[in-house]
């Protein structure tokens, strides 16, 4: 039923007796929210994907220049961590039990290590009394692995130069991974650091340090 606009001026209304007044007032409200939902349902798939990709990309940029802003925490998503983790696992995986690379972690091992490690670290900071929600801190930890993925790419590039100056190449890789590890730890403590009570900050930061250290170890020992 069409809603009518209702306006009334009550200045010259007076009631002589205590007459109970009851009724309904209907006011028209712009139905903007329903329109928006309809419009995102109708938009082309490319727009949806591009919008999400832009959000993910913007968060990666935030990790590159970690300042203490809230955007990474407010609009959390787990796409970025998934992309990073799949990339890491694909690059680090070995080929099978009989191949020469039998000591290398398999895809599932890397995947589980990264996700299970992130979940345990998140639980830990939550149990210590952190004020961030579970998924927000999972999001931050996942996004901050990004510098380590970049260093993994660089390591692969140096490994392509097979045979020449192996020690120098190893030193280059080592410096790369160390820098990336420091960057990742610094970025995640920037985002997560203020959520802990100050007398427990070191207790919350140490597991994050251990988590990135293990990932750096996996990257630097990847020589195939």
What is the contact surface with other proteins in residues (CB under 8 A)?
A: 100-105, 109, 124, 126-129, 162-163, 166-167, 170, 199-203, 206-207, 210, 213-214, 217-218, 221-224
Residue pair 155/125 in contact by the 8 Å Cβ criterion: no
Nearer to other proteins, 72 or 132 (CB): 132
Instruction: Work out how close the CB of 127 gets to other proteins at its nearest, in angstroms, rounded to a whole number.
Output: 4
Instruction: Work out how close the CB of 121 gets to other proteins at its nearest, in angstroms, rounded to a whole number.
Output: 10
Nearer to other proteins, 149 or 216 (CB): 216
Nearer to other proteins, 72 or 152 (CB): 152
Instruction: Name the residue with tokens 């985002």.
Output: 191
Alpha-carbon separation of residue 29 from 2, 4, 38, 209, 222 (angstroms): 11, 10, 17, 52, 61
Instruction: Work out how close the CB of 175 gets to other proteins at its nearest, in angstroms, rounded to a whole number.
Output: 16
What whole-number distance in Å separates Cα of residue 137 and Cα of residue 125?
A: 9
Instruction: Work out how close the CB of 193 gets to other proteins at its nearest, in angstroms, rounded to a whole number.
Output: 14
Q: Which residues, 6+ apart, have CB-to-CB distance to 118 below 8 Å?
A: 81, 138, 141, 142, 211
CA-wise closest residue to 80 among 112, 105, 54:
54
Residue pair 4/28 in contact by the 8 Å Cβ criterion: yes
DSSP tag of 2? P
Instruction: Work out how close the CB of 183 gets to other proteins at its nearest, in angstroms, rounded to a whole number.
Output: 21
Nearer to other proteins, 78 or 203 (CB): 203
Nearer to other proteins, 72 or 176 (CB): 176
């Amino acid at each position: 039923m069409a809603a009518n606009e209702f306006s009334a001026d009550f200045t010259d209304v007076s009631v002589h007796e205590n007459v109970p007044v009851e009724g309904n007032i209907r006011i028209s409200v712009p139905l903007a929210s329903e329109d928006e939902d309809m419009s995102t349902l109708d938009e082309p798939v490319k727009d949806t994907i591009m919008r999400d990709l832009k959000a993910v990309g913007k968060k990666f940029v935030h990790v590159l220049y970690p300042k203490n802003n809230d955007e990474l925490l407010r609009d959390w998503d787990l796409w970025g961590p998934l992309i990073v983790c799949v990339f890491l696992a694909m690059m680090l995986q070995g080929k099978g039990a009989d191949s020469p690379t039998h000591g290398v972690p398999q895809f599932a091992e890397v995947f589980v290590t990264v996700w299970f490690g992130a979940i345990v670290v998140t639980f830990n900071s939550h149990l210590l009394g952190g004020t961030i929600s579970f998924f927000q801190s999972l999001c931050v930890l996942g996004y901050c692995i990004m510098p380590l993925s970049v260093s993994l790419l660089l390591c692969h590039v140096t490994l392509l130069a097979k045979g020449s100056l192996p020690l120098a190449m190893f030193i280059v890789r080592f410096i790369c991974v160390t820098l990336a590890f420091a960057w990742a730890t610094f970025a995640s403590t920037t985002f997560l650091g203020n959520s802990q009570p100050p007398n427990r900050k070191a207790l919350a930061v140490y597991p994050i340090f251990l988590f990135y250290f293990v990932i750096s170890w996996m990257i630097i020992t990847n020589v195939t």
